[in-house]
Amino acid sequence: MTVAIARTKAEQGFTRNFEAAAPQLPGGPSVAAARRAAIGAFAGLGLPHRRLEAWKYTDLRSALKEALPAAVGAVRAPPGPAQIDNALEELAELDAHRVVFVDGVYAPALSSAATLAGLAFAPLAERLASPEGAAAGGLAAAADEDAVVALNTAFMTDGAVIDIARGAKLAKPLLLLFVRAAGEGRLVTTRNLLSVGANARATVIEAHLTLPGAAAGQSNALSELAIAEGAEVAHLKLTLAGEAESHLATWRPTLAAGASYRAFQFTAGTGLVRNGVALTFAGEGAKADVSGSFLGRGNEHIDTTLVIDHALPGCESRELFKGVLTDRARGVFQGKVIVRPDAQKTDGKQMAQVLMLSEDAEFDSKPELEINADDVVCGHGSTSAEIDADLLFYFRARGITAEEARALLIESFIGEAIDKVDEVLRPALMAVARRRLAQLSR
């Protein structure tokens, strides 16, 4: 028996837009076949909706009204370095290797990381066109059950393929910059493949920005990370893409034994955001910290959904997310921690906290612990509160005006999460956050 499912305008649009874009998307026949399989899978799945537990609070079927045409090929008038620096705010001063993508296409003229000791970089588009084809794009795996990832496979235009050699210690962070420059709203789809060799050390920053004058649109960004034994990776994400942007991101880090992964996601001023992180401990004694902070205003909707899979013994996971919501903004936090039967001595702690600055803001928090081993330590917590009146009085009793006191208290609230970020990056991130905080009505 077949059941005909009514597809929304957006769902039909993605399929139709794929047909239009397919001839221009990079890759040989094996890649094209994988893309076609993915859009087929998407047609079967449709956009995720609220009846799927993982999408309970973020119903894309109703949130995405249309599918924007896919961005393919380089923009006619690429931005200059000054425009990029301007968009990066304080991060522009960071001493980092840059890899820049403009509307989903690698921009070598703006990039500086092509040749570095211990690091091999290639644009994904180039890899997809190579004889390795689909295997190079990480497409060899079976068709995904995740509609967002299926869309990524179908539409991806470019991204960073990075191999960090065994034992290499990168002195400077790697800044992967995804900017929108086009005047029309487009679907921009990128995929990064990071492979970090044993005992290597690296810091990778992803920034998703919209240049002044450019149109926000839809973006789908996927990062796959394979972190080998004993390697240490810090992974930062900034999403500041504009209130008209719908941004769907997926991170899939896999940690080998003894690896260390510290992730931090900062989100502000973006209309609809889904930050999905699916982390797998594939070796014993690895450690992960996945934290972040988000600021929502207007009608913004910011969803953080984590799945931390403790498949093997002796791993440690930490999550701390702190958000500030005002106006009618909505924050979502879903934190699933799976402890498999073999994963004894697991140590997991999770906390999500939100400061509510308006009565119409909403925070939905759903921790989920699935514990199938008996010798584990796991904890979670979630709070949403207004600014503490006693703290406010303490500030005011010292002569600090109510407005300034509120600003300091909000900043300190967010600062507790930002303190997780390496101190080299922290001041720049704090400055970016402070500017966004000043824009929140309180």
Least CB distance from residue 324 to other proteins, whole Å? 13
Helix 402-418 vs helix 389-397: angle between axes, to the nearest 10 degrees?
120
Per CB under 8 A, residues contacting other proteins are 389-391, 393-402, 404-405, 408-409, 411-416, 419
Check the CA dihedral 396-394-411-305 and report its sign. Answer: negative
In whole angstroms, what is the distance from residue 320 CA to residue 418 CA?
Answer: 10
Least CB distance from residue 395 to other proteins, whole Å? 8
- Residue 305 Cα distances to 270, 308, 335, 387, angstroms: 17, 10, 6, 25
Least CB distance from residue 401 to other proteins, whole Å? 5
Nearer to other proteins by Cβ, of 24 and 401: the residue is 401
Per DSSP, 27 falls in state: -
- Residue 411 Cα distances to 46, 91, 322, angstroms: 40, 19, 11
Q: Is 236 in contact with 202 (CB distance < 8 Å)?
A: no
Nearer to other proteins by Cβ, of 243 and 411: the residue is 411
Instruction: Please choose, from the candidates 236, 240, 221, the residue with its C-alpha nearest in 3D space to the C-alpha of residue 89.
Output: 240
Q: Which residues contact 59 (CB under 8 A, 6 or more apart)?
A: 48, 49, 50
Nearer to other proteins by Cβ, of 204 and 437: the residue is 437
Least CB distance from residue 417 to other proteins, whole Å? 9
Nearer to other proteins by Cβ, of 94 and 408: the residue is 408
Nearer to other proteins by Cβ, of 16 and 396: the residue is 396
Least CB distance from residue 205 to other proteins, whole Å? 23
Nearer to other proteins by Cβ, of 218 and 353: the residue is 353
Least CB distance from residue 434 to other proteins, whole Å? 12
Q: For residue 33, how far is the Cα from the chain centroid?
A: 27
Torsion angle, CA of 184/72/33/64, rounded to 10 degrees? Answer: -10
Nearer to other proteins by Cβ, of 145 and 423: the residue is 423
Least CB distance from residue 360 to other proteins, whole Å? 24
